[in-house]
Homo-oligomer: A and B are copies of this chain.
Amino acid sequence: MPRKPEYDRDDLIARARDIFWRQGWAGTSLKDLERELKLKPGSFYAAFGSKDALYGLALDRYAQEGVARLRALADRVGPLEALKAQPRLVIEVSRAPAKACMLAKTYAELQAKDHELAGRAGVLMSEMKACFAELFRQAQEAGDIALSHDPNRLATRYQSDLLGLRLSAERSDVDAHEIAADIAADIDRL
């Protein structure tokens, strides 16, 4: 009996993610969102409740797609090759709104104020790290990496390297492909 909304909620979340990813939390005003999502304030708040709530949904979507993409890659080329390819891939996605990791940007921006979204970003980064560790462990099982290494430690370093790489990739005076190649080369030496 009721009327249906004119928007595609999933599409709106994806578009909001791109805006937040690029401009950050404080850098994105409701005016920005209303313009880009073509939603008047009333519809916006009926659909999402608050700016923070939408940011949370966007953050979850970002992390979920990131993990899914890496897992799918590992299923295709195996864990070691996936870990080696990932650095190059994350800085080459040209349709992405930014090179830097949205989780890291969120954490860096909001952690000092103990914002709930910073906590959420931290949890999601931790899950991402666990995903890396699992792939390192699988690579060890496959005999590609010496068993003497601790997969959790490898994952921690690897994630740190990726965060640095992706931040560096935003800079015009840095050749991020060289860094990506060096990170991949490090994995080969394990």
Contacts and interface: CB of A to CB of B under 8 A. Distances in A.
Interface of A: 22-24, 26-27, 98, 100, 104-105, 107-113, 122, 125-126, 129, 153, 156-157, 159-165, 167-168, 170-175, 178-179, 182, 186
A163 B168 contact: yes
Contacts of A165: 160, 164
A61 to B, nearest CB: 19
A171 to B, nearest CB: 6
A27 B112 contact: yes
A180 to B, nearest CB: 10
A107 B24 CA distance: 12
B156 A104 contact: no
A184 to B, nearest CB: 12
Which of A153, A157, A162, A165 is most buried by chain B, counting CB atoms within 10 A of its CB? A157
B105 A108 contact: yes
